[in-house]
Amino acid sequence: MSVTKVHARQIFDSRGNPTVEVDLYTDKGRFRAAVPSGASTGVHEAVELRDGDKANYVGKGVSKAVKNVNTVLGPELIKSGLKVTQQKEIDDLLIKLDGTPNKGKLGANAILGVSIACVEAGAAEKGVPVYQHLAELAGVKPPYIMPCPAFNVINGGSHAGNKLAFQEFMLLPTGATSFTEAMKIGTETYHTLKKVISAKYGIDAVNVGDEGGFAPNVSGAEESLELLTEAISKAGYEGKIKIALDVASSEFYKDGKYDLDFKNPNSDPQKWISGTELADLYLSYVKQYPIVSIEDPFDQDDWEAWTHFTKNSSVQIVGDDLTVTNPLRIKTAIEKKACNGLLLKINQIGTISESIQAAQLSQSDGWGVMVSHRSGETENTIIADLVVALGTGQIKTGAPARSERVAKYNALLRIEEEINGGIYAGDKGLSAGLAAPALLK
């Protein structure tokens, strides 16, 4: 069945910024997709096309991207006569119509909207759930694997107004026996953490950030890790919850050094540290706390520091700004042995087919793959289907708060019910130093 009509419009994301929504029609009905948007974006990401007209929507309008769907991508897709089940061919067509290496002409936000809507339509055409259609596209056979969620519960970095340099501190209920239990453990610990923070820092400290996490006025990483440890213990889940960090260190990389006091305009350059010193700091945290995964520990172009750390560490080292879900960057990271984990963000690359390719390339080298939301999200839940389809066993989509985050977790609860439980990944999706994830073996 081919596409009969495509219509895009500007809607709003969870931060109140414009984003793209695409309605795609076939004889089976209407299929809708909305596109997310990041805050701490890597310089190597596919281009999110914004209008840049400061007089409207603070320059963040997406009328150009919407127009590109309505006047170029939609009409050409209809004209091609491709069936909605031909995802790879459709995505190849969208890429060709743009013609640039980073989707800078038509916009990755325009292209991704059409790509996701096609996935929805393709599943309906086959009469199967979206996760099953995606699994078939990726050549992944059942049994399906339910992911371990990574709940971002303490925020720092560019996401928060505190002194904390590291961007995210996450809870991973690896000791749960099902996704449903993982949600129980995660939400109970989240509420316990809220009480712990409120008692120590006051009621203002439990206002939530863009991804539902708290941003207490902590002095640094140790204080955050202590708060998490206390909450895990008070909630009664010691041993069942591991910790992951997203450092987002490109945000505080200056002149070849790392400034852990980067939010202070008068930060002392004498105190900035080298990549090796930062690596030693991470290793000391891993010894002291149950940390199993560290994302973007170094700047996106500080390859040397990445390679040094990955060689010396026993945890999962995840590339986000480093790899930007781009097969070319991933190849380089594999060659340089720079990391052993991929953060998969569909809007960093701009089509579902390339996202699948990025995951499979990473897995071919024994990496873990964590499917991820963006800080600016919508109610769209395609990443829930994608993580089950690919069977990577890891998803991060915020704290268990704010509907645009919880929508993904609720979608996963429904999928778990539909597949009669599947297999809960626990810690089996995580790589650890030179060891590939147990799921891959």
Q: Active site includes 211?
A: yes
Name the residue type at position 24: L
Distance between CA atoms of residues 366 and 441, nearest Å:
9
Tokens standing for 387?
A: 């993580």
Which entry of 211, 354, 404, 416 is annotated as an active-site residue?
211
DSSP calls for 131-156: HHHHHHHHTPPSSPEEPEEEEEEEE-
CA atoms within 13 A on the CB side of 1: 18
Which entry of 240, 242, 345, 396 is annotated as an active-site residue?
345
Q: Which residue has the tokens 């995951």?
A: 359
Tokens standing for 59?
A: 């320059």
Q: Active site includes 188?
A: no
DSSP-derived 3-state class of residue 11: strand
Distance between CA atoms of residues 28 and 133, nearest Å:
16
Contacting residues for 133 by C-beta, under 8 A, at least 6 apart: 85, 119, 122, 123, 126, 389
Could you tell me if 368 and 348 are in contact, meaning their C-beta atoms sit under 8 angstroms apart? no
**Taking the CB of residue 203, how many other CB atoms lie within 10 A of it?**
9
Distance between CA atoms of residues 176 and 193, nearest Å:
19
DSSP-derived 3-state class of residue 165: coil
Q: Which of 398, 367, 374 is nearest to 170 (CA)?
A: 398
Active site residues: 211, 345
